[in-house]
Amino acid sequence: MGKENTVLTIDIGGDSLKMAEFSFPSGGGMTLEKFAFAEYDIDLKEAGFVEVFSAVYNRLLTENNFVSHGIRVSISGQSAFTRLSKLPPLGEDKGRIEQIVEYEAKQTVPYPMDEVIWDYQLVKHTIKTESTPAPEPEPAPEGEEAAVPPPEESGETIDEMEALFVAVKSDLVSELADVIQESGKEILSIEIAPTAFFNAARANQIGVNQCDMILNIGGRCSSLVFADQGRVFARTIPIAGHSVTQQISKEFNISFSDAEELKRRHGFVALGGAYEEPDSEVAATISKIARNVMTRLHGEINRSINVWRSQYGGNKPSHLYLGGGSSLMPYTPRFFNEKLRIPVDYLNAFQVVGIGQGINKEQLLEVAPMFSELIGLALKHIVTCPVDISLMPQSIKQYRALQRKKPYFYASAVSIVLCLLVFYWGVTKRLDFDKGRVDVAKKEVEKTNTLVDKVKVLKRELDSAKGEYDEAMEIISKRKQWPGIMNDLQKMLPDMVWLTLFEGTGTLATSSSADPFARAAAAPAPGGRRGGRGGAAPAPVPVAAQFTTTAGVTEINWIKFYGHSIGFKQNSLWDEAFRINLKKCGLFADGDDSIVFENDGYTPEKGKNNITSFKLRAKLKDPIKK
């Protein structure tokens, strides 16, 4: 059989490990292909339970060559806590139901919630109240019809909700799961043995129409399950075959393994009463020990029945079905039949399972009562079971969630790669396009730069020519400046004033080495004489005086005048009139110190010389460049 249509189920019991591989034909149903059974041959007190399980589990895998990749696991009820709790009416509000269930779990589970793996199964059932009889009608008066009696009121139906809680220490489940996963198998589900036992019983129509009990007597504990028309109540009882072996070991003062061997060879449940004891004293003692243990177990069963009926309103059990290895002890069904006074049979869960051709039926018959849990686990592979409890560790849930997301991760990675390729292609195309535009722009820029260089050369040539032109024009414009000044001075000279010298200079501190005014003072007056009293008055001389400029001066700011005037009267000085005319002409700067005499002039005395000499400086408004 291929791995795709097979599943391997394992039941991790208190003192043994059961394994079975089922196949699922295409036509429906399921078939047992292989099975294996092994007891733990090491005392669990000397070694850890997980180490013992790991050794036996790996040995059975190697010896039987199971091909299934998926595994469904059940754990002994001894390692779990189960409790059935009634819930208040919650209607169809799922969120409210989950809150109440979680609160009930915190109140019910005796361990810290962060240390356990827990799950629950909601069980909804209907309770019908007793009917109310109708009251008898009163007799009618004479002449009137009797009143019609009211109908009998039928009982009301009430829906109740219960939650079956299951909690297991997370450390134990995680360690067992690690051992299984290290073997290369995939865990499909984890639950407890009582719920798997119940699902197998329900598949065989047990507890469908009445209340039936299912008792699994194992090695270290017994699991009692009530199946009452859809309702379920489970209880783990710490009394089983291990208790019988312990009592035998104490009674005969032998080792546990020897006591187990004696139990298997001579053990049976004593009939009690007036029955004759066996010839072997050892067998008689062992049978009494077994009966005492079974009596204690019966007491716990009665107590469970009372709890079921009084606290949960369950129906009275009508049938008891046995399972588990310790239930194979002779006279066990008869003992419970006498004590409970109800029919007792072994649970045959193989009614819904086909047997493969390679199965040794004789070996299977010896262990068949112990394989009900494995069948209940296999049923979850093809149908929805009444009780679906999942005790998967958080690490496996996270791993499965990651596995479910892997296709999306791969699709996302492919999408990212495609996006990157498209982006790269787009960027490459854009770069090629931009590079082409850059090349075109570079060519245009080169052309433009060539034209700019030509324009710059032409601009420099133009500026050079314009400079020469401006210089020439300035020279031409300056050429008329001195004649214009001379003409203006000619107009401003009074009739009785003439100039002998004027000089252009840059600053007042600058002067020629030879004082031109001294030379002018030595110059002869007009007519070859100074003139004097009684002499004829000389005629005014036009401006044709000597002109000079100070050496080294590049810009003329001042003009110095030297000249003479004729005064006929003591107060009539023509040189002062000349100075006033210079202020008014507009050629010279404004201000009192712009046109001033550098000497006091000469005032002729009466009867003496009537010719004056003056020295005058004037600041030009517009300087003249040489």
Q: Compute the average pLDDT of residues 1-17.
A: 80
Tell me, what's the pLDDT at 561?
A: 82
Q: Compute the average pLDDT of residues 379-394.
A: 88
Instruction: Tell me how far apart the alpha carbons of residues 506 and 526 are, in angstroms, rounded to a whole number.
Output: 31
Boundaries of every domain in the chain: 206-346, 481-625
Average pLDDT, the chain: 81
Lowest model confidence (mean pLDDT) among 109-123, 447-461, 533-547, 548-562:
533-547
Residue 79: how many other CB atoms lie within 10 Å: 19
Task: Answer with the residue of higher pLDDT: 355 or 27.
Answer: 355
Q: Compute the average pLDDT of residues 13-30.
A: 89
Q: Is 274 helix (H, G, I), strand (E, B) or coil?
A: coil
Lowest model confidence (mean pLDDT) among 68-77, 243-252, 322-331, 554-563:
554-563
Model pTM score = 0.63
Sheet order of strands, 31-39 included? 186-192, 70-75, 6-12, 16-23, 31-39, 354-355
Find the angle CA(140)-CA(144)-CA(147) to the nearest 5 degrees.
Answer: 50
Does residue 383 register a pLDDT over 70? yes
- The third-level CATH classification (topology) of the domain covering 206-346 is Nucleotidyltransferase; domain 5 (3.30.420)
Find the angle CA(48)-CA(54)-CA(57) to the nearest 5 degrees.
Answer: 135
Instruction: Tell me how far apart the alpha carbons of residues 365 and 337 are, in angstroms, rounded to a whole number.
Output: 23
- Amino acid of residue 46: E
Q: Compute the average pLDDT of residues 58-70.
A: 90
Q: Compute the average pLDDT of residues 589-599.
A: 78
Lowest model confidence (mean pLDDT) among 176-185, 254-263, 553-562, 591-600:
591-600
Tell me, what's the pLDDT at 520?
A: 43
Q: Compute the average pLDDT of residues 582-608.
A: 70
Instruction: Tell me how far apart the alpha carbons of residues 553 and 504 are, in angstroms, rounded to a whole number.
Output: 9
How far does CA 427 lie from the centroid of its chain? Answer: 29
Does residue 535 register a pLDDT over 60? no
How is residue 372 written in tokens? Answer: 């009900």
Tell me, what's the pLDDT at 218?
A: 87
Task: Answer with the residue of higher pLDDT: 579 or 119.
Answer: 119
Q: Compute the average pLDDT of residues 245-252.
A: 90
Tell me, what's the pLDDT at 151?
A: 55
Cβ neighbours of residue 252 closer than 8 Å, sequence gap 6 or more: 258, 259, 262, 282, 285
Q: What is the pLDDT confidence band of residue 574, given thresholds at 50, 70 and 90?
A: confident
Residue range 193-237, pLDDT digits in tens: 999 999 999 999 898 889 999 999 988 889 999 999 888 999 999
Q: What is the pLDDT confidence band of residue 358, given thresholds at 50, 70 and 90?
A: confident
Does residue 138 register a pLDDT over 70? no
